[in-house]
Homo-oligomer: A and B are copies of this chain.
Amino acid sequence: MKIYRYPIKDSWKDLVKRPVLEQKEISGLITDIFAEVEKNGDKALREFNEKFDKADTQSISVTEEEIENAEKQISNELKQAIQQAKENISKFHASQKQEIQKVETVKGVVCWRENRAVEKVGIYIPGGTAPLFSTVLMLAVPANLAGCKEIVLCTPPDKNGNINPAILYAAKLCGVSKIFKTGGAQAVAAMTFGTETIPAVNKIFGPGNQFVVAAKEYAQRYGVAIDMPAGPSEVLVIADEQAVPDFCAADLLSQAEHGSDSQVVFISTDLKVFEETVKAIGQQIRDLPRNEFAAQALENSSFILINTLKEALEFSNLYAPEHLILAIADFEKYIPLIENAGSVFLGNYSCESAGDYASGTNHTLPTNGYAKNYSGVSLDSFVKKITFQQLSKEGLQNLGKTIELMAEAEGLFAHKNAVSIRLK
C-alpha cells in the first residue's frame, strides 16, 4: 500500500502510471498456434486441450445433453439470480436502441442511419480461478438484442473435459447459438479462421490472460474486429467525510481480489475516513478466501489524501479508471466534472459489484487508461451504423454546384462529372 498525503500536482503524472506489464515474448507462440489451427482445425484444438488444459475432449462441441445436465446441477436460487441479472441487463441495453431519424439537410436531400447487427460474433470466457458466467450475460444479452445471427462461445474445458454448468446455463438462457470447449489463443484462432465445427466470426469479445489478449490483437490482421484493448481491472474510489470506511474498504478489496495485477486507488478529502478505511482493509482482508491475490494487488495500490473533491476528480480524469466510485454526498454536483471513466457508481449504496453482476450496466469496460478514448461494451458494440442518403432531382440541383466546385478544387473531375451529367 503506497500512501501519498497531499501530493503536489507535478507528481500526479507519475502516480497515475500503471505498472508496465511484463511483456513476455509470446508473439512467436501466437503465430504458431494460429498456423496450427488454420491448418488442422478441430484436430489442433483437441491437441491443445490435451496440452494446455490436460483435458481429453473427443468432441469440442458442447451437446444439448450437456446443457440439460448443467441446468440440473445449479440451484434454483442461482438460476433466479441469473435470470434477474439477465432481465436488468436486457432492460438497460434495450434502452440503447435508437430510432431511425431522417434529416433533410437541404430540400430534397434526406440522410439517416440504420443499425445492422454484426452477423457473427464470438465470445471468449476464460477458465481459470473463477467461472465468469456473469461475462456470458454481459456479452450474449446485447448480442442477442442487436440481432446477431450467430453467437459463438468458446471456453476451456476442465480436466474432465467439462464446462462449468453456470456458464452453460447462462449461455443457453441468453441465446448463445453454439458452445465450444477450447480456450486460450487457439480459441481465438478458431473463431478467426473457422474450423470444421467452429464458425469464423466477424468480431471477438471477452476477457482473458495475456495469450488471449495477444491472440485477439493478432486476429485483427485477418479482418476480425475486437471489443477493445485489455489490461488488468481497476477501481478508483473517491470518498468525502460522509463516506463509510467499511464500505470503501469492501469495494477496494472486491477489486483487489480479481488478481495480483488489479489496480486499486483510494482518494479521500477526509483524514478520518482515510485512516479508518486503511484500517478496515486490514480487518476485512483476513477472512477472504482469495486474500493472497488481494494482498499482492494492494501492495501496488495508491492511497491518496487530497485537499478538495475537485482535485480528486481532476486526478481521476488523469488516471481514467475503469470503475469510478463516488462515495461522496454531493455526487450530482461532481458528475459534470467526470471526463474519463468506464463506469461510475454514485453514493454509498452503489457498490462496484452491483455493476459487475446485476444493475444492468455492462461490466466489459476500458482499462489501462483506455477510458480516455474507448467506451465500454454496449449495444453499439454489436451493430454497424450504416448511413443512407436519398437525393431527389431537386435535391441534387440544390447541392450540385457545391459538389462540382469542391470536386474541381480537389482535382477530382470524375466526381464533378457524376453531378454534371445528371444535371445536363
Query: Which residues from chain A sit less than 8 Å from chain B, CB to CB?
Result: 74, 77-78, 80-82, 84-85, 87-88, 91-92, 95-96, 98, 101, 103, 105-106, 109, 111, 113-114, 116, 118-119, 129-134, 166, 202-203, 220, 223-225, 229, 246-247, 250-251, 253-254, 256-258, 284, 288-290, 294, 331, 335, 338-362, 366, 368-376, 378, 380, 383-393, 395-396, 399, 401-403, 405-407, 409-419, 421-422
Contact = CB atoms under 8 A, between A and B. Distances in A.
Contact of A384 (B87, B133, B331, B375): B375
B342 A407 contact: no
A352 B258 CA distance: 51
Of A133, A224, A356, A406, chain B has the most CB atoms within 10 Å of the CB of: A406
A268 to B, nearest CB: 18
B410 A134 contact: yes
A384 B134 contact: no
A417 B74 CA distance: 22
B111 A103 contact: no
B131 A389 contact: no
Given A403-B353, A417-B250, A223 B81 contact: no
B289 A411 contact: yes
Given A362-B387, A373-B203, A247 B422 contact: yes
B290 A414 contact: yes
A250 B404 CA distance: 13
18 contacts: A81-B401, A88-B109, A95-B101, A95-B103, A98-B98, A113-B378, A119-B340, A202-B373, A224-B373, A250-B414, A294-B414, A335-B388, A345-B389, A346-B388, A349-B396, A353-B419, A376-B385, A380-B385
A341 to B, nearest CB: 5
B351 A418 contact: yes
A386 B103 contact: no
Nearest to A370: B223
A390 B250 contact: no
Given A131-B410, A374-B225, A354 B389 contact: yes
A91 B119 contact: no
A405 B375 contact: no
A354 B399 contact: yes
A296 B388 CA distance: 29
A406 B361 contact: no
A250 to B, nearest CB: 4
A88 to B, nearest CB: 4
A349 B414 contact: no
A130 B289 contact: no
A288 B95 contact: no
A299 B280 CA distance: 73
A198 B355 CA distance: 39
A290 B78 CA distance: 67
A235 to B, nearest CB: 10
A111 B417 contact: no
A168 to B, nearest CB: 13
Contacts of A403: 81, 353-354, 356-358
Nearest to A389: B359
A388 B395 CA distance: 42
Contacts of A360: 103, 105, 109, 111, 389
A341 B386 contact: yes
A233 B104 CA distance: 27
A291 to B, nearest CB: 9
Contacts of A95: 101, 103
